[in-house]
C-alpha cells in the first residue's frame, strides 16, 4: 500500500515508519526540514520529500500517488488564545480537516489520525480542546462522504527510546539531588510506542477498524510521581521526588515559558494534568496488541551504560 505519512519524522512517526516499512508498504514522508529526517531514507520503500503539508497544492500532488493517509502531526506547546492559540489550531484542527478534504478530492478513502486520550472540545487545556476540535473536524468531513473511512486513535502518554518523557526524568535524576515535580498526583496509563505503532499498522489493513475510534493505553495506571521515581531508579540514580504546590507549579511553568525553546512544562501542560489520562477499556482485540508495561520496557533503555 502507498501511504502518505504526515508527522513521520517525529518520535512516534519514526516508529510507525519503521513498522510500516517492515510490513512492505511504500511510504512518502513530507517534512519542512529535510535534514531532520534524512536517516529515515535508510528504510526500504521510504521517500522523504521536502514539502509543506499545510499547502493544499502540495497535498494534492502527494495524494495523487497515495492509497491511504496517516496523520501523526501534533504539538505540545503553542501560543495562548481562546479556545486555543494559532499553533494548536493550525496543527490539531486545520491540518486534519485539510487532509480529510484532500483525501475526498482524490478519492483516497482511508485516513488514520492520531489524536489524544481525553481529547475534548470543552477540555481544561488548549491542547485537549484543539485535539477534540480536530476529531470533530474529521467527523464533519466524513459524515458528508460515506465512501471514506477515518480511524481515530487516542493514545495516553507514549513512552519509548528517545522519548521526551521517561528519558527526561532520567536526565533530571542524573543532575538533581531531588526532583521538584508539578502535577505529581496526576494519573496516567502510559503506552509503549511500539504498541501504538503496531496498532496503527494493524488497523491500516483491517477493514473492521474503519470509522472507529480507539483508546490506546498501557496495562497499568500510575501517578506522575510514581513514574518519575521509577525512571530515576531504572536509570541508576534513585532520587526523592518533591511534589510542588499548585501555585508554585504554575509559577515554575510560567518561568519555563519565558526561556528560549520549548518549556520543560507549560501552564497548559499543567491544565492537561488535571484530567486523569486513563483509558476507559482494554485495547480492542481487532488491533492485535497486548500492551507492554513500563516495567517490561523502560529499564532496558534507561539502564546505566
- pLDDT band for 198, please (50, 70, 90 cuts): very high
| All residues at 6 or more sequence positions from 101 whose CB lies less than 8 Å from its CB, including other chains | 141
Backbone dihedral region for residue 24 (phi beyond 0: left; psi -120 to 50: alpha; all else: beta): left
pLDDT at 91: 98
Q: What is the pTM of this model?
A: 0.95
pLDDT at 38: 87
The 10 Å Cβ neighbour count of residue 300 is 9
Residue 224 has pLDDT above 90, yes or no: yes
Q: Could you state, in order of their start, the residue ranges of all structural domains in the chain? A: 2-158+191-217+278-291, 159-190+218-277+292-304
Residue 36 has pLDDT above 90, yes or no: no
Stretch 237-255: mean pLDDT, rounded? 95
272/228 Cα distance (integer angstroms): 18
68/60 Cα distance (integer angstroms): 13
Residue 114 has pLDDT above 70, yes or no: yes
Stretch 90-110: mean pLDDT, rounded? 97
- pLDDT band for 213, please (50, 70, 90 cuts): very high
Q: Which residue has the cell 507514549?
A: 158
| pLDDT mean across residues, the chain | 96
Of all residues in the chain, the percent with pLDDT exceeding 70 is: 100
N-terminal to C-terminal alpha carbon distance within the chain: 40
Residue 266 has pLDDT above 80, yes or no: yes
Residue 305 has pLDDT above 80, yes or no: no
3-state secondary structure of 267: helix
Are β-strands 68-71 and 46-50 bridged in parallel, bridged antiparallel, or unpaired?
unpaired
pLDDT at 267: 96
pLDDT at 35: 84
Residue 281 has pLDDT above 80, yes or no: no
Residue 296 has pLDDT above 70, yes or no: yes
pLDDT at 282: 81
- pLDDT band for 261, please (50, 70, 90 cuts): confident
Tens-place pLDDT, residues 141-185? 999 999 999 999 999 999 999 999 999 999 999 999 999 999 999
Q: Report whether CATH 3.90.25 matches the domain 159-190+218-277+292-304.
A: yes
Class of domain 2-158+191-217+278-291: alpha beta
Amino acid at each position: 500500500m502507498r501511504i502518505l505519512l504526515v508527522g513521520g519524522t517525529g518520535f512516534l512517526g519514526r516508529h510507525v515508519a519503521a513498522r510500516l516499512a517492515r510490513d512492505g508498504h511504500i511510504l512518502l514522508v513530507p517534512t519542512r526540514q529535510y535534514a531532520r529526517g534524512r536517516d529515515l531514507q535508510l528504510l526500504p520503500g521510504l521517500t522523504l520529500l521536502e514539502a509543506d503539508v499545510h499547502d493544499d497544492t502540495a497535498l494534492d500532488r502527494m495524494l495523487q500517488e497515495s492509497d491511504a493517509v496517516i496523520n501523526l502531526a501534533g504539538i505540545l506547546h503553542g501560543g495562548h488564545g481562546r479556545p486555543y492559540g494559532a499553533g494548536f489550531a493550525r496543527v490539531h484542527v486545520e491540518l486534519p480537516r485539510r487532509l480529510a478534504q484532500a483525501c475526498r478530492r482524490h478519492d483516497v478513502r482511508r485516513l488514520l489520525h492520531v489524536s489524544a486520550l481525553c481529547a475534548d472540545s470543552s477540555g481544561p487545556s488548549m491542547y485537549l480542546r484543539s485535539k477534540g476540535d480536530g476529531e470533530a473536524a474529521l467527523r464533519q468531513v466524513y459524515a458528508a462522504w460515506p465512501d471514506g473511512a477515518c480511524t481515530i486513535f487516542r493514545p495516553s502518554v507514549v513512552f519509548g527510546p528517545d522519548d521526551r518523557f521517561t528519558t527526561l526524568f532520567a536526565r533530571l535524576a542524573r543532575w538533581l539531588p531531588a526532583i521538584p515535580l508539578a502535577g505529581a498526583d496526576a494519573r496516567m496509563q502510559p503506552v509503549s510506542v511500539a504498541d501504538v505503532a503496531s496498532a496503527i499498522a494493524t488497523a491500516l489493513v483491517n477493514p473492521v477498524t474503519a470509522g472507529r475510534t480507539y483508546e490506546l493505553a498501557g496495562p497499568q495506571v500510575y501517578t506522575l510521581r510514581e513514574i518519575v521515581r521509577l525512571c530515576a531508579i531504572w536509570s541508576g540514580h534513585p532520587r526523592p521526588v518533591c511534589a510542588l504546590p499548585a501555585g508554585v507549579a504554575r509559577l515554575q511553568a510560567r518561568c519555563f515559558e519565558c526561556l528560549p525553546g520549548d518549556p520543560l512544562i507549560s501552564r497548559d501542560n499543567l491544565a492537561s494534568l488535571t484530567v486523569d489520562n486513563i483509558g476507559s477499556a482494554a485495547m480492542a482485540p481487532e488491533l492485535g496488541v497486548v500492551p507492554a508495561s513500563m516495567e517490561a520496557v523502560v529499564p532496558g533503555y534507561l539502564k546505566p551504560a
